[in-house]
């Protein structure tokens, strides 16, 4: 009663996409439905959103590092949420694109990366960007086809998983180990691991944040994320106005000890040696473009396209959870007909 019919919300995905673009001009919104030109009603498949203020904030004011992650939906029609997350000048999450898709595989990751290519400046030529992931289903193949020249990094969880696989099946470990990765010196590898672990933690943090949206109908879900980002950007903007100094609060643990010692020995200002990405001025630019509100559905423009039906209900892989009830004394006697298993022939 609060959120309305889940199935009816799929009929207005076109209207919602138009509303996002109308009130946040130049945003990236892509909707995919199956069977638009067929006699049968079309079926919703996926929707991607990259709000223009977030795209501008990432393109010009964030480090060229993108973490990709996914999480499961819990609403009636299931599916997955794919997210692209950067890091702002204070080493905090900067989510800038998300999509709801029917399933996580090579096709949906390819589509998600292809959508990102339309919205990001440097992703077109692949240069200067680094992608961090845990090698989700089909993502490696999508990387190879769409961003072959971009750097790829894998999160610390991947290394732990590899060790577990090695103990279980040596052949599987050797197959995965032969997939090329970049090798570094011990010191450089240590710093990269810290960065990868941090970004991976940030991705997991965002997945935890949107937990309350994952069981909502499709448009309620999309609006939950958009409103969260609108409020979050405003809070970040207001907070930085009260800060003083040239740079954002510095993470001393990530600084090279030898470099730190040399700077102190020269008796110079540490702030002069901090990269511009971590400056207060750059941080302000990342959050200066406000995300505009969107009116309620009754004010959305109705698009003259065939209304889509909900996606087909998918049975997710994995063993279903069983609910067991503790029996009272005398219930479920071993020889009773109710407890005898029934044999089915297939």
Give the pLDDT score at 332.
Answer: 47
Give the pLDDT score at 197.
Answer: 52
What's the DSSP call for residue 275?
-
Separation of alpha carbons 39 and 49, rounded Å: 29
Give the pLDDT score at 33.
Answer: 92
- How remote is the C-alpha of 16 from its chain's centroid? 20
Give the pLDDT score at 60.
Answer: 79
Q: What is the pLDDT of residues 183-228, one digit of tens each?
A: 444 444 444 445 555 555 666 777 788 888 888 889 999 999 999 9
State the number of CA atoms in the 13 A half-sphere of 342 facing the CB: 4
Does this model's pTM top 0.95? My answer is no
Show me where the domains of the chain are located.
8-299
Query: Which residues in the chain come in under a pLDDT of 50?
Result: 183-193, 325, 327-346
Give the pLDDT score at 5.
Answer: 76
What does the radius of gyration of the chain's CA atoms come to, in whole angstroms? 24
Give the pLDDT score at 190.
Answer: 44
Separation of alpha carbons 312 and 102, rounded Å: 9
Give the pLDDT score at 339.
Answer: 41
Q: What is the pLDDT of residues 44-70, one digit of tens each?
A: 999 999 999 999 999 878 888 899 988
């Amino acid at each position: 009663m609060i959120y309305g019919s889940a199935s009816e919300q799929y009929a207005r995905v076109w209207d919602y996409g138009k509303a996002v673009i109308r009130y946040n001009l130049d945003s990236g919104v892509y909707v995919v439905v199956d069977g638009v030109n067929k006699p049968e009603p079309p079926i919703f498949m996926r929707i991607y959103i990259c709000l223009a203020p977030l795209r501008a904030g990432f393109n010009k004011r964030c480090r060229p590092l993108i973490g990709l992650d996914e999480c499961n939906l819990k609403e009636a029609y299931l599916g997955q949420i794919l997210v692209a997350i950067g890091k702002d000048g204070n080493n905090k999450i900067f989510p800038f694109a998300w999509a709801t898709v029917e399933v996580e595989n090579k096709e949906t990751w390819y589509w998600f990366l292809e959508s990102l290519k339309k919205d990001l400046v440097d992703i077109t030529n692949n240069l200067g960007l680094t992608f961090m992931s845990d090698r989700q289903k089909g993502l490696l193949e999508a990387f190879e086809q769409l961003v072959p020249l971009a750097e790829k990094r894998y999160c610390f969880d991947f290394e732990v998983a590899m060790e577990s696989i090695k103990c279980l099946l040596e052949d599987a470990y050797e197959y995965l180990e032969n997939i090329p990765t970049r090798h570094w010196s011990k010191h450089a590898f240590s710093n990269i691991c810290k960065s990868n672990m941090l970004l991976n933690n940030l991705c997991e943090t965002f997945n935890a944040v949107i937990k309350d949206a994952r069981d909502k109908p499709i448009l309620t879900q999309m609006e939950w994320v958009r409103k969260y980002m609108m409020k979050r950007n405003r809070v970040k903007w207001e907070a930085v106005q009260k800060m003083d100094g040239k740079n954002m609060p510095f993470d001393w643990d990530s600084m090279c000890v030898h470099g730190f010692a040399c700077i102190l020995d020269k008796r110079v200002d540490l702030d002069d040696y901090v990269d511009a990405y971590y400056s207060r001025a750059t941080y302000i630019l990342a959050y200066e473009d406000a995300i505009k509100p969107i009116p309620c559905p009754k004010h959305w423009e109705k698009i003259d396209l065939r209304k889509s039906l909900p996606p087909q209900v998918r049975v997710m892989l994995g063993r279903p959870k069983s609910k067991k009830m503790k029996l009272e004394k005398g219930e479920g006697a071993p020889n009773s007909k109710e407890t005898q298993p029934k044999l089915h022939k297939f």
